[in-house]
Amino acid sequence: MAKHELVESIMMNGVLVPVTVRPVKDGNYEMISGHRRLYAVKEIGLERIPAIVKEYDDDEGSIRCLLKCVSVVLQFASFSVIL
């Protein structure tokens, strides 16, 4: 889904799938998955986004973030091959 399509979808339907974050030491949160949804929500001007908070340590958080990125790349790669 292209960025403008995601923005339109969120404007019409809201965020259907929460982002995943983990708490970090300074009291903030680190994004694990849902980066594109977060950018779309910011573009619309919303101040909040539904999130699932997971208690991942640094290593597990990094691994899960990397695995999510790789899975997205593979989905786009396989989609391109089908076209």
Q: Can you give the pLDDT at residue 79? A: 56
Q: Can you give the pLDDT at residue 83? A: 47
What does the pLDDT look like over 18-71, one tens digit per residue? 999 999 889 999 888 898 999 999 999 999 999 999 998 878 878 887 887 777
Distance, CA of 3 to CA of 14 (rounded, Å): 15
β-sheet with 51-53: strand ranges across: 29-33, 19-23, 51-53
Does pTM top 0.85 for this prediction?
A: no
The residues, ordered by sequence, that sit 6+ positions from 3 with a Cβ below 8 Å of its Cβ are 36, 39, 40
| Domains of the chain with CATH codes | 3-82 (3.90.1530.30)
* Residue 10 reports pLDDT greater than 70: yes
Q: Give the DSSP letter of residue 52.
A: E
